[in-house]
Amino acid sequence: MDMWLSESQIKDAAMTYKVKETLVRRKTPFQDLAIVDTEAFGRMLLLDGIVQTTINDEYVYHEMITHIPLLTHPNPKKVLVVGGGDGGTIREILKHPSIEKAVLCEIDEIVIEECKKYLPEISCALTDPKCEIFIGDGIKYVHEHKNEFDVVIIDSTDPFGAAEGLFGGSFYKEIYECLTDDGIFVAQTETPFYLPEVVKKVYDDAKAVFPITKLFMAGIPTYPSGYWSFTLGSKKYDPEKANVIDKYDLDTKYYTKRLHSASFVLPKFIEDLTK
């Protein structure tokens, strides 16, 4: 008998995947965790039934949330990742030669534990000496570290449950204070097809805090609608004006230097959300 996994972000649409095997399922103190092996996308991490990452398309998300801010900043040395227990964002951060320290702040230690076991291609950099892992509340961590990080990346789950506090104006003010004088932050901010109100609210909240705020997009097949937004807030550097062409080359599968500025060119219906 075939097994199928279905994920719905809105009540009238769902994404469905054929599952070969359930590798692990655990109820953590924070969420229901599962890692399954699918026919189309390989091994897949789910939290509370929502797809977080897969072996076959994870590179899109992790490259875009990382390389856009890190190549916009002229010399990033210290980076904070809030969430991101799978380790993919840390892996991409440590490709940059200027990085001296990358801190992963993850509230759920079991996510890290199981991803190391079942998703080694993604979690492979979590043992790097430049990576420091802190298990705890990301909001509290940001509040307690002022003027410390060149880049802060909010690699969170959807804005429900444990991650709800990571979306909003008060938290973005805390991030602003956590950043150095020329710091940059970026967050994943959902799909404008299904959740335009979330995309607009996050953008507006960030814009109220950061002098430069930009929305950029990427195509991620396993995320609802397949079209995903990221919001970037910067104290000083405009990502569309960054001279990335003359910078070092990176080993990537999705991100390119030409794509860097092109990803900020928005379709009109998304552009309207930023007005």
Residues labelled as active-site residues:
155
Taking only Cα atoms into account, the Rg of the chain, rounded to an integer number of angstroms, comes to 18
**Count of CB atoms situated within 10 Å of the CB of 137:** 15
Contact indicator for 153, 65 with CB cutoff of 8 Å: yes
> How far apart are the C-alpha atoms of 189 and 156, rounded to whole Å?
9
158 known member of a binding site: yes
155 known member of a binding site: yes
The DSSP result for 151-220, as a single string, is EEEEE---SSGGGGGGSSHHHHHHHHHHEEEEEEEEEE---TTT-HHHHHHHHHHHHTT-SEEEEEEEE-
The secondary structure of the chain in percent helix, strand, coil, rounded to multiples of 5, reads 35, 35, 35
138 known member of a binding site: yes
157 known member of a binding site: yes
> How far apart are the C-alpha atoms of 106 and 4, rounded to whole Å?
30
Max Cα distance, the chain (Å): 58
156 known member of a binding site: yes
> How far apart are the C-alpha atoms of 235 and 254, rounded to whole Å?
27
106 known member of a binding site: yes
Nearest to 52 by CA among 88, 92, 10, 19: 88
Output the known binding site for S-methyl-5'-thioadenosine: 31, 106, 137-138
Output the known binding site for spermidine: 62, 86, 155-158
Output the known binding site: 31, 62, 86, 106, 137-138, 155-158
